[in-house]
Amino acid sequence: MRHARQRRYLMCPPTYFTVSYEINPWMHKDEPTDTARAVAQWENLRDTYLRLGHTVELIDPLPGLPDMVYTANGATVVDGIAYTAKFRFPERQPESPAFEAWLAADGFAIAQAEQVNEGEGDILFTERAILAGTGFRTDHAAHLELQETFGRPVVSLHLVDPRFYHLDTALAILTDDHLITYYPGAFSPGSRRILERLYPDAIIAEEADALHLGINCVSDGLHVIHSPWAVGLAEQLRARGFEPIAVDTSELLKGGGGAKCCTLELREAAWSAAAGPEDEEDVASPRSRWKTTTAPA
């Protein structure tokens, strides 16, 4: 039986969302964007988390930084340590100090990155290992820095399809201990063999779902927030005992992001999957030290 675990997320309203530059294949400056629609979709995503009992914290958006909505790229937060992002493209580099300042003010220990990395866009956490992508945005050297920062094993995965420029566009963590879903076509042959060896029970996503960034989903161990167009993935999730929840983020897709891109998990302390479901905190009982945003009626 699947169990949900309460999560704490950092999100940023897409107040200034637009596509004014092109740094990934999904972005087209000539294609109109609707900021009001992006805000409405983002609010629905936030409210979905709240209805599920999760905590949502907000960072203020800054003018001129339309991609701040993709908070997953802003850092990697594990065991109360925030490993800062060091963005590859100049257009996004001013975001990093803003995320660092917020995380420091919230009490996280800051680990300054020296190597280029784009946070949870390319760095995904499981208890077994941290999965780290490279090939387009994050330098391979950051993987060693990441391992030294958290003292956890890091598995490097090479991305080869520019449409899947971040790891979280091609792979998602479904349970904290070991279950993942991924699209094999996004990875090099060697990385596919690694994934097959480490995760033989993974859910293999089809290209049709991947092409809608359907794998850019968020799981709490039971509920999986995903693109409405990831129909095949939703069927596979349901068959494995998950509860898929479709949330439309199509306007935000114009910037190259989905639900996961908009969601940075804040992990304050080590959590062991070995504890078992009976020791997990119920999603309806937030820890008292967390600031909890109330879901609208």
Note the pLDDT tens digit of each residue in 184-220.
999 999 999 999 999 999 999 999 999 999 999 999 9
Q: Is residue 162, in this structure, part of any structural domain at all?
A: yes
Q: Is the pLDDT confidence value at 182 over 60?
A: yes
Q: Is 254 part of any domain?
A: yes
Indicate yes or no: pTM above 0.75: yes
Flag whether pLDDT at 290 surpasses 90: no
| Separation CA 153–CA 200 (nearest Å) | 19
Relative to beta strand 8-11, strand 55-58 is: parallel
pLDDT mean across residues, the chain: 92
Inside any domain, residue 224? yes
289 within domain boundaries: no
Q: Does residue 91 form part of some domain?
A: yes
Residue 281 lies in a domain: no
Which residues are catalytic, by number?
A: 166, 261
CATH for 147: 3.75.10.10
Length of the chain: 297
Query: Domain for residue 141, yes or no?
Result: yes
**Which stretches of the chain are assigned E, i.e. beta strand?**
8-11, 55-58, 75-78, 81-84, 109-111, 123-125, 130-134, 154-158, 171-173, 180-182, 203-204, 218-219, 223-226, 243-246, 264-265
134 assigned to some structural domain: yes
Domain range for residue 14? 8-269
Number of domains observed in the structure of the chain = 1
Residue 72: what pLDDT? 98
pLDDT tens for each residue of 124-156: 999 999 999 999 999 999 999 999 999 999 999
Mean pLDDT score, 240-268: 98
